[in-house]
Chain A
Amino acid sequence: MKRVEMKKLFRAIMPLIASLLIILPAAAQKMSPPGPGPARPVNLPKITEKKLANGLTVVMAPLPNVPKITALLTVRAGQATGREKHPGIAQIAAAVANEGTDTRTSKQLKEELRSIGGTLDLSTNQDATVMSASALSEFSPRMLELMSDVIQHPSFPDSELALSKSNTIEGIRAGRADPNFLANERFQKIIFGDHPYGFVVPDEKSINALTRDDLKQFAATYYAPNNSFLVVVGDFTPDKLFAEIQKAFNSWKSRELPSEPTVAAAPRAKRQIYFVNRPGSIQSTIYMGNVTIARKDKDYFAIRTADTIYGGSFYSRLTRNIREDKGYTYSPFSSSATMARSGYWVVGAAVRNEVTGPTLKEIFYEIDRMRSAPVTAEELDAAKAYSTGQFSVELASQAGLAGRINTVYLYDLPRDFISTFKPKIEALTTADIKMAATKYFDQSGFAVVIVGDYDKVKDQVATYGDVTLLDTEGNPITKTASK
Chain B
Amino acid sequence: MRRFQRKLCGLLVGLLLLTMLSPLIHATPLSIPVVYYKLPNGLRVVVSEDHNAPVVTVAVYYNVGFRIEPKERTGFAHLFEHMMFQGSANVKKFEHAKYVEANGGSLNGHTDFDYTNYFETMPSDRVELGLWLEADRMRSLDVTPENLKNQQNVVSEEVRVNVLNQPYGLFEWIDLWGNANQNYYNSHNGYGDLKDIEAATIEDVRAFFKTYYAPNNAVLTVVGDVDAGDVKKMVEKYFSNIPQQPQPARPDIAEPPQTKEKRVTEPDKLATVPALAVGYHAPAQNSPDFAPVVLLNLILQGDDSSRFYQRLIKEKELSLDLQGAVNIYGNEFDYFGPMIMTTRTTYKPGHTGDEIVKEMDAVLADIMQNGVTEKELADAKVRYRSNYYNQLESTFGKAHLLSTLALFRDAPNQINNALAPFEAVTRDQIKAVARKYYVPENRTVIDRVPEQKGDK
Residue of B nearest to A139 (CB): B382
A469 at the interface (CB under 8 A from B): no
User: What 1/0 flags go to A337-373 for Cβ under 8 Å of B?
Assistant: 0000000000000111000000000000000000000
Q: Give a binary string over A1-43; 1 marks a CB under 8 Å from any B CB, 0 the rest.
A: 1100110011011100000000000000111111111111111
CA distance in complex: A38, B380 (Å): 45
- Contact (A177, B270) CB under 8 Å given A1-B210, A350-B165, A386-B102: yes
B331 CB-CB contact with A under 8 Å: no
Partner of A65, one of B52, B93, B97, B105: B52
Given A67-B389, A110-B304, residue A178 in contact with residue B52 (CB < 8 A) = no
Q: With a CB–CB cut-off of 8 A, which chain A residues contact B387?
A: 117
Known: A117-B383, A177-B167. Is A43-B104 also a contact (CB below 8 A)? no
Contact B305 A13 (CB under 8 A): no
Contact in complex: B165, A1 (CB < 8 Å): no
Q: Do B149 and A327 have beta carbons less than 8 Å apart? A: yes
Q: Judge if A314 is at the interface, Cβ distance under 8 Å.
A: yes
Closest to A385 in B: B104
A330 to B313, CA, bound (A): 35
Beta-carbon contact of A352 and B160 below 8 Å: yes
B52 to A43, Cβ gap below 8 A?
A: yes
Partner of A37, one of B121, B128, B132, B203: B128
Residues of B within 8 Å of A35, CB to CB, are 129
**In the complex, are the beta carbons of B125 and A37 less than 8 A apart?**
yes
Q: What is the chain B residue whose CB lies nearest that of A329? A: B157
Task: Return B41 CB to nearest CB of chain A, in Å.
Answer: 11
B122, A389: Cβ atoms closer than 8 Å: yes
Instruction: Tell me if A52 is interfacial: C-beta within 8 Å of chain B.
Output: no
A254 contacts chain B at the CB level, 8 A cutoff: no
Stretch at the interface among A53-61, A217-225, A268-276, A390-398: A390-398
B320 on the A face (CB < 8 A): yes
- List A contacts of B348 (CB < 8 A): 166, 170
The residue among B90, B157, B166 with the most chain A CB atoms within 10 A of its own CB is: B157
A212 interfacial by beta-carbon distance below 8 Å: no
For B131, give the chain A residue with the smallest CB separation: A34
Residues of B within 8 A of A179 (CB): 165-166
* Inter-chain contact B272/A174, CB cutoff 8 Å: yes
The answer on a CB contact under 8 Å between B128 and A40 is no
Q: Nearest residue in B to A453 (C-beta to C-beta)?
A: B165
B126 contacts partner chain A, Cβ-Cβ < 8 Å: yes
Q: Which residue of B lies closest to A121 (CB)?
A: B304
Distance (whole angstroms) from the CB of A118 to the closest CB of chain B = 7
**Does chain A have a CB within 8 A of B101?**
yes
A392 touches B94 (CB 8 A): no
CB < 8 Å: which of A2, A41, A281 contacts B54? A41
- Please encode chain A, from 440 to 481, with 1 for each CB lying within 8 Å of some chain B CB and 0 for all others: 000000000000000000000000000000000000000000
- Counting chain A CB atoms within 10 Å of each CB, the highest count among B203, B302, B305 belongs to B305
B contact residues around A117 at 8 Å (CB) = 382-383, 385-387
B157→A381 contact, CB < 8 A = no
Closest partner residue, chain B, to A9 (CB atom): B243
In the assembled complex, how far is the CB of residue B218 from the closest CB belonging to chain A, in whole angstroms? 16
Residues of A within 8 A of B166 (CB): 178-179
Q: What is the CA–CA distance of A232 and B160 in the complex, to the nearest angstrom? A: 41
> Is B140's CB within 8 Å of the partner chain A?
yes
| CB-contacts of B153-167 with A (<8 A) | 153-158, 160-161, 164-167
Rounded to whole Å, the gap between the CB of A172 and the closest CB of chain B is 10
Are A320 and B94 closer than 8 Å at their CB atoms? yes
Q: Are A283 and B157 in contact (CB under 8 A)?
A: yes
Q: Which residues of the partner chain B approach A281 to less than 8 Å between Cβ atoms?
A: 165
Indicate whether B394 reaches chain A with its CB closer than 8 angstroms. Answer: yes
- Does B225 contact A40, Cβ atoms closer than 8 Å? yes
Which residue in A111, A170, A352, A382 is a CB contact (below 8 Å) of B102?
A: A382
How far, in angstroms, from A63 to B304 measured CA to CA in the complex? Answer: 28
Q: Does B123 lie within 8 Å of A389, measured CB to CB?
A: yes
Give A476 to B387 CA distance when docked, in angstroms: 47
Interface pair A68/B386, CB less than 8 Å apart: yes
Q: Which residues of B contact A39 (CB under 8 A)?
A: 125
- Contact at B52–A34, with CB atoms within 8 Å? no
Residue B150 CB within 8 A of the other chain: yes
8 A Cβ contacts from B374-426 to A:
375, 378-380, 382-383, 385-387, 389-390, 392-395
Q: A34 near B123 (CB under 8 angstroms)?
A: no
Q: Could you tell me the dominant secondary structure of chain A's interface residues?
A: mixed
Could you say which of B203, B375, B390 has the most chain A C-beta atoms within 10 Å of its C-beta? B390
Our pick among A13, A36, A396 for the contact of B139 (Cβ within 8 Å) is: A13
Q: Distance in Å from the Cβ of B40 to the closest Cβ of chain A?
A: 14
- With A1-B207, A13-B243, A320-B94 in contact, do A135 and B124 touch (Cβ < 8 Å)? no
Count residues of chain B with CB under 8 A from any CB of chain A.
93
Q: Decide: A34 near B241, CB < 8 A? Known: A174-B346, A178-B167, A392-B54.
A: no
Q: Which residues of B contact A2 (CB under 8 A)?
A: 203, 206
Distance between A28 CB and nearest chain B CB, rounded to angstroms = 12
**Among candidates A115, A315, A392, residue contacting B97 with C-beta atoms closer than 8 Å:** A315
CB distance from A158 to the nearest CB of B (A): 14
Contact call A331/B106, Cβ cutoff below 8 A: no
Q: B265 within 8 Å of A by Cβ?
A: no
User: Which B-chain residue is minimally distant from A135 (CB atoms)?
Assistant: B386
Q: Contact: B153 with A43, CB < 8 Å? A: no
- In the assembled complex, A114 has its CB within 8 A of some CB on chain B: yes
Q: Is the CB of B125 within 8 A of A66?
A: no
Do B320 and A171 touch (CB < 8 A)? yes
Q: Is the Cβ of B161 less than 8 Å from the Cβ of A350?
A: yes
Contact between chains at B206 and A385 (CB < 8 Å): no
Q: Name the residue of chain A whose CB is nearest to the CB of B242.
A: A13
Asked whether any CB of chain A lies closer than 8 Å to the CB of B314, the reply is yes
B60–chain A nearest beta-carbon distance, Å: 17
A89 contacts partner chain B, Cβ-Cβ < 8 Å: no
A40, B125: Cβ atoms under 8 Å? yes
Which of B101, B167, B207, B394 has the largest count of A CB atoms less than 10 A from its CB? Answer: B101
- What's the nearest-Cβ distance from chain B to residue A229, in Å? 24
Contact present for B140 and A10 (CB under 8 Å): yes
Given contact pairs A1-B206, A13-B242, A43-B53, A107 touches B305 in the complex (Cβ within 8 A) = yes
A408 within 8 A of partner (CB): no
> Which residues of chain A have C-beta atoms less than 8 A from B305's C-beta?
107, 110-111, 113-114
Contact assessment for A40 and B393 in the assembled complex, using a CB-CB cutoff below 8 Å? no
CA A330 to CA B191, docked complex, whole Å: 14
B286 within 8 A of A: no
B339 vs chain A, min Cβ distance (A): 25
Say whether B1 faces chain A, with CB atoms less than 8 Å apart: no
Which of A36, A37, A330, A397 touches B161 (beta carbons < 8 Å)?
Answer: A330
A-B contact pairs, 30 of them (CB 8 A): A1-B210, A2-B206, A9-B243, A29-B89, A30-B89, A36-B128, A65-B392, A66-B392, A111-B379, A114-B305, A115-B375, A117-B382, A136-B385, A136-B389, A167-B313, A174-B346, A177-B270, A283-B165, A314-B101, A314-B106, A327-B151, A329-B157, A330-B154, A331-B161, A350-B157, A350-B161, A389-B122, A392-B104, A393-B121, A397-B393
Give 6 A-B pairs besides A107-B305, A385-B102 with Cβ atoms closer than 8 angstroms.
A170-B273, A282-B164, A325-B150, A352-B160, A390-B104, A393-B55
Could you list which residues of chain A lie within 8 angstroms of chain B, going by C-beta atoms?
1-2, 5-6, 9-10, 12-14, 29-43, 63-68, 106-107, 110-111, 113-119, 134-136, 163, 166-167, 170-171, 173-174, 176-179, 280-283, 285, 313-315, 320, 323-325, 327-331, 350-352, 378, 381-382, 385-386, 388-390, 392-393, 395-398
Q: What residues of chain B have their CB less than 8 Å away from a CB belonging to chain A? A: 50, 52-55, 89-94, 97-99, 101-107, 121-129, 132-133, 139-140, 149-158, 160-161, 164-167, 203, 206-207, 209-210, 225, 230, 241-243, 269-273, 302-305, 310, 313-314, 317, 320-321, 346, 348-349, 375, 378-380, 382-383, 385-387, 389-390, 392-395
Ranked nearest first, the 9 interchain pairs of A and B with the lowest CB-CB distance are A389-B104, A117-B386, A327-B153, A396-B53, A382-B102, A1-B206, A110-B305, A330-B158, A177-B167
